[in-house]
Every structure is written in structure tokens, then in C-alpha cells.
Amino acid sequence: MIRGLAPQPRLLWAIAIGAALIALSVVSPVLVLLAALYHAGLVAVVARDLALLPPARGYTARREMPDPFSLGEREEVKIVITNPRAGGLRARVADHAPLDLQPRPRDVDGTFDTSGTLNVSYSTQSPRRGAYRFQSIDLRVVRPDGWLRRQVRIKLDHEVAVFPNVVAIKRIQLTLRRGLRALVGQRRARPPGASTAFAGLRDYVRGDDVRRISWTATARRDRPVMVEVEAERGQQVMIALDCGRLMTAPAGNLDKLDHAVNAALMLAWVAQAFGDRVGLMTFDDRVTNFIKPERGATQLHLITQALYAIKASYVEPDFGHAMTHLALRAGRRSLVVVLTDVQDPNQSRELVAHCLRLSARHLVLVVAMSDPEVLSARFAPIATSARAYQWAAAEEFVASRRESFEQLRRGGVLGLDVVAGNLSPALVERYLELKERALL
């Protein structure tokens, strides 16, 4: 009964008052009787409070949380604790969550309802992929006017995994099913007049492009008829993900590789939703994984598992080996999306050369992420000489990246340079634009 109990501040004050009465009892015999009665009453009150506190063995707990966790997303973990005898008790809960998941807040206050159920929650944010372990839950309960509090440790171990951002996939899936734009600025899946596959005929509506009128159908029906087209399905997308040294650099809350992983998974899902075959290649100084282009739920599962497991290496990427390997195994003409980092023309010479060579047969899109801190250094006020040097360095770095992308553009290679936090929606937007323009 004593184990796990601790005094409330009011009990400590009461004990201090009792000690003062004992000290004063040497002055008058009347104070001796008063001290005895005071302590007898205090013992009775504390004993009653102890009897009303449920024992530790009556508590059960469970966690309700995402399965799996999503990289970079703020998500909620809910804890439900029950004890039929704990109705009305105030509680504080501290979950032994992995510190790497950044739990906020660490301690959560709540009150058991009349049935003896406590519901509390806190948020987490996962900055890295991988496996994590939740351990015990610490619970502190006290009556609203109690003198003692009981501290309980409930053993509840959980193994969880942080995957690439599946929450973003669920959001885009829901909005596509509703027929809405999945992302800000996203284009329609059936653009009028720029795609390559015939989708049907419909009556003319004011504002339609007259160049899409089917004169044969118009003559047959004796009213204007429009040709409907949609983005051609059954094309092929290869995602080439650089896992070399430069992708270990931080960019906002995640490092560049994790931003690229989220974008790759988003692109794979969207391409599958539009009927294209999707493949994945990861590489550093060698090709570490190659998944040939296919379509279907099994393919998405393979890509998700591969993206979950990859790690960046502190080595220079071998673009020549990677692009040659892709060219030999890709087969038919594909949209090749190279997720990497681009620096000045000298350091990006190998990337530029091999992407230009690959573009002779495939449509190549080189995607790079800008560090938000570098961009903020360009636009922040210049008040000191140190800030002036920072601005000059940031400006030179951005200009050198722009020159590298210009070399790619002149050779027929597409480029996308975007702030790391906006990578996923920007990449999907570019993919849909390429589908509309029928460049593949």
C-alpha cells in the first residue's frame, strides 16, 4: 500500500504545523493535548485518503497511434487508461516515447471520467526513417482535495516504424477520389487539348477550343461536337535517387535525402494512379537497388519498402555507372526523374554530362532541392559586414546552381530547382505538366 505513494504539498504543510505544535508543547501542557489530537486527526484524514486511492494493479492502458508513422509529419498519439475505481481522479501522464520522435508535450494532464476512463494525447514529429520503441507509461493520480498521490508505471512496449510520408499519399488519394485538386496548383488529369489519348465525344460548350471540334461528328449530329482527350496511360517513369554525400545535408526539418524519399513516393503513387509504370533506382558510388518499372499495388509496396530502408552514404555518387545501368535496364523510352543535388558547373560536370547522354533516348528531369537557410540569407537585411559576406556567398551559390541548370536546359534536359519543403507538390505538378504536353 505504501509503494508508489508520495505526499501532496498540503500534507507536508500539515506535518510542518504538527511539528511546530510539538515544539510548543514544552511551553504549556494544554498544547500537548492539542498536538496529540491534531496528529490523530491528521492520521485519520490521510488514512481515509489512502483508502480512496485505487491500488496500482487496477490500471490498464493502451496506445492509439499511426501505423506506420510518416516521415516529417506532425501526428497524434492517444493514450487511454482505465480503472473502474478511478472515476473523478486527476491524473498526469508521461509516456516513455522515443526522444527522436520529438513528443510534445512530455507530460499531459487529464481527469478520469465517471466510468474510470482517461483519454490524453500528445503529438510527435518523425525526422528520420527507421524503427523506434515506445516503453512504459508513468501515471500519477490524486484526488481533487487529496493528501497523497499514487505513482504507477504501466508496462506497455511498442515497436513502431517511421516510413516515407504515407499521410501525404492518403491526402492526395482522398482528394483525387473526390475529383478535387490534390495539391495547390495541380493540373487536371484530363486536360482539354494537350494530351494524346482519345477519351470520347461531347457537345460543344461556350468557351471550348474550336480547334477540338469533330467536324465529322458535327455533321452527323447536326450540332457542334467536341473531341475529349486525356493524358496517355501506360507510359513509363523511372525514379533515380542519389544517396551520396551531398544528400546528407540538412534542409529544414529533414535532410535532403528524406525530402527526396517523400517526393519519390508521392510521384510513384501519382504516376500509378494515372496508369503509368513506375520503377526505382537508388545509387551512390554504385547502384544499390533497382526495381524495374511495373504498375499495381504490389509495385507500390516494393517501392515503399525500398525507400524505407535506404540510407545516405558519405561517398561521391558515380553518375556514369548509375545512368549506364539505368539505360541498359529501362528498356523503352521513359521519363527519368533524377533526384539529386546540383552545385556549380565544375562539381556538377559528371551529372550534366551523363544526363545529356541519357536524354538522347529518354526524357530526363533533374530535380534538386534548395536549402531554405541559403535562400533566407539572400533576402535577409544586410546590417553588418558579416551579413554582407553571408549574402555574397549565398548569391554566388545560387548563381552557380542556375548556371548548371542552364547547361542542362541547353542540352535538352529538364530541370526543377525548388525549396526542399515544397519538393513533393512541385515534382507532382511538373509530372502532370509533362503528361499534358505529351513530351514523353
Q: Name the nearest CA neighbour of 60 among 124, 118, 100, 2.
A: 118
How many CB atoms are located within 10 Å of the residue 165 CB? 25
Would you say residue 190 has pLDDT above 50? Answer: no
Of these ranges, 173-187, 288-302, 390-404, the one predicted with the greatest mean pLDDT is: 288-302
Reduced to 3 states (helix: H, G, I; strand: E, B; else coil), residue 45 is helix
Tell me, what's the pLDDT at 174? 63
DSSP state, residue 3: T
CA distances from 53 to 120, 136, 203, 417, 418 (A): 20, 21, 76, 62, 58
Measure CA of the first residue to CA of the last residue in the chain; give whole Å. 75
Record the cell numbers describing residue 105, joined without a space: 508535450
pLDDT tens per residue, range 393-412? 878 878 888 888 898 889 88
Tell me, what's the pLDDT at 373? 76
Q: Are 272 and 300 in contact (CB under 8 A)?
A: yes
| 123 φ, ψ (degrees, to nearest 5) | -110, 155
How many CB atoms are located within 10 Å of the residue 431 CB? 24
Would you say residue 183 has pLDDT above 70? Answer: no
Please tell me which residue, 364 or 176, carries the higher pLDDT value.
Answer: 364
How many CB atoms are located within 10 Å of the residue 313 CB? 18
CA distances from 151 to 7, 142, 146, 280, 417 (A): 11, 9, 14, 51, 54
